[in-house]
Structure 1
Amino acid sequence: VDTYPNEEKQQERVFPYISAMVNNGSLTYDHDRDGRPTELGGCTAMVRNLDHDTFLVIRYVKRRLTVMIDIDGKHEWRDCIDVPGVRLPRGYYFGTSSVTGDLSDNHDIISLKLFQLTVERTPEEEKRDREVFLPVVDNLRLPGLEAPLEPMSGLALFLIVFFSLVALVFAIVIGVIVYNKWQEQSRKHFY
């Protein structure tokens, strides 16, 4: 839960804001940009200065991460985040922490309840889940990362190969000329 915006030009997002991030240790949370470069999804959640408790449910079932919230005190869940293709390894631990940017707020975690859900899986799904060693998200395209380059056209490839060959032939000719001059100079030393 990010309660205050740090990015000055941010217009399309209302704070407080809940966002999700999956990390294998290679990414960092960008406080100056409110975590946008690594965000999987999020929603606005007006959780400040309320007279009732607010609740957040995080579910991870069959490679799908969902977050639902109850912030109105009506005991009704509202969808916040739904991300398919999340692969989390087994044997990790849940934890809570607080890291703030320039502005901070007080949040009390009253309880943290964890439940193991029993879900029917095929043997292939079971094997595939056992092979996950690092947390990843399938087909993840983060805005901060560069897009893959498009394949070259036939003409561009031809020109690159042609000029590479011309440069190679030129280098060989220069090498032969320099070698012949050196040979000629070496013969003059002995006569």
Structure 2
Amino acid sequence: MASHVRNLSAVPMFLCVFLCVLAEWNTKDFQRREHTLVKPYQGSGMSVPQWDFLGSTMVTNSYIRLTSDHQSRQGAIWNNVRCHVQNWELHVQFKVHGAGKNLFGDGMAIWYTQERMQLGPVFGSRDLFTGLGIFLDTYSNHNGPHNHQHPFISAMINNGTLHYDHDSDGTHTSVAGCEAQFRNKDYDTYLAIRYEDNTLKVSVDVDNKNGWRECFVVHGVKLPVGYFLGASAATGELADNHDVISVKFYELESEKKNPPYTGLPEATVMEAPRDRVEDKRGSLSSYSGWKLFMIIILIIIALAVVGVVGFIVFQKQQENSRKRFY
């Protein structure tokens, strides 16, 4: 009788375990390994399965460093499998850090684009791209005052014809953005990009809260399937380490069953241009610190030369006047 009771008491426990497993199986999203990058990164030799890297990118056991804390570096890593998922969410674990306290840059980008494996001026990748770019802009010496602080996260939807303007920090081509203090943290930081039913949502965890904080939401975004995922970074006169620790891609099961979009990327809503002062070429405000220092030195030298010439001319005039007097 006791054994029979024990058997009966085990049934609820079995049902709980079964329901938990069933709940996991019925989740509305699941990870796609062909678009995921986690440790250990390397396969045979120096290769990273299903991912290609170029430029200054360095693969280690703990992270993938797109750029080191040195000037004029560009690096990128690209998934080599086309993404044919309509609704998806991408989680990027990353770390941006460096020795700079007040001056640092330039930043990194997460891509979903038609093109891949092309270094360029937009955070280490090509300009005039076709697709989605999420920019993590850390350039502290930005051009013209804005009504936001850096680092700044923004999104750009491009059909291949829009130019990213570094002089305006992409102000006039951004669809949305938010401030996010993710640089020089003692812990890893996270970015989530969710694209579902023509809605783009970006969230962050940069405060070590183990939970997402909404950065921005944009409706009316159309992205075709068949593009590539990637990440890139760049340094200029200012620098930082830009590290990618993991990239996890999830396919979402949507209640709407729409056919895949096959046109060019587009966004029906654009963010209003943020307040800024236009960068005037040739003005002192448009020059970096060392250029401004050189200009000041040249001005001092020029003034010294003018002073010496003026003194010599004055002496000659004095000598001539004394000769005429005698």
Which interval holds the TM-score relative to the shorter structure?
Answer: 0.5 to 0.7
Aligned to 1:75: 210
* Alignment-derived partner of residue 264 in structure 2: 134
| 1:106 equivalenced with 2:236 (yes/no) | no
Report the CA distance shift for 1:80/1:43 in structure 2 as closer, same or farther (over 3 A).
same
Is 1:28 aligned with 2:163?
yes
- Once the two structures are superposed, the pairs formed by residues 160-175 of structure 1 within 5 Å of their partners are none
2:147 is aligned to 12
What SS class does the counterpart of residue 238 from structure 2 fall into?
coil
Secondary structure of 2:194's match? strand
Amino acid at match of 2:204: I
Which structure is higher in RCO with an 8 Å CA cutoff and minimum separation 6?
Answer: 2
1:118 lines up with 2:253 in the alignment: yes
How far is the alpha carbon of 1:76 from its aligned partner?
2.0
Distance 2:228 2:138 in 1: 26
Amino-acid identity (%): 46
Question: Which ranges in structure 2 are unaligned for 5 or more consecutive residues?
Answer: 1-135, 274-326
Matches of 1:142 and 1:134 in 2, distance apart? 22
Q: 1:141 to 1:3 in 2, by over 3 A?
A: closer
The DSSP-based 3-state class of the residue aligned with 1:67 is: strand
Residue by residue, what CA displacement relative to the aligned partner does 1:74-114 show, whole Å, maximum 9, x if unpaired? 11211102100000001111111124565332221111111
Paired amino acid for 1:98:
A
Q: 2: distance between equivalents of 1:84 and 1:49?
A: 32
TM-score (norm 2): 0.40
| Letter paired with 2:171 | R
Confirm or deny that 1:39 pairs with 2:39: no
- Local SS of the residue matching 2:183: coil
Alpha-carbon spacing, 1:49–1:18, altered in 2? closer, same or farther (3 Å):
same
Give unpaired runs (5+ residues) of structure 1: 144-191
Question: Whose helix proportion is higher, 1 or 2?
Answer: 1
TM-score calculated relative to the size of structure 1: 0.66
The CA RMSD over aligned residues, in Å, is 2.1
| 3-state SS of 2:233 partner | coil
Structure 2 equivalent of residue 86 of structure 1? 221
SS of residue paired to 1:32: helix
Q: How many residue pairs align between the two structures?
A: 139
Q: Per the alignment, in what secondary structure is the counterpart of residue 217 of structure 2?
A: strand
Structure 1 runs (4+) deviating above 6 angstroms are: none
Name the structure with the higher strand share.
2
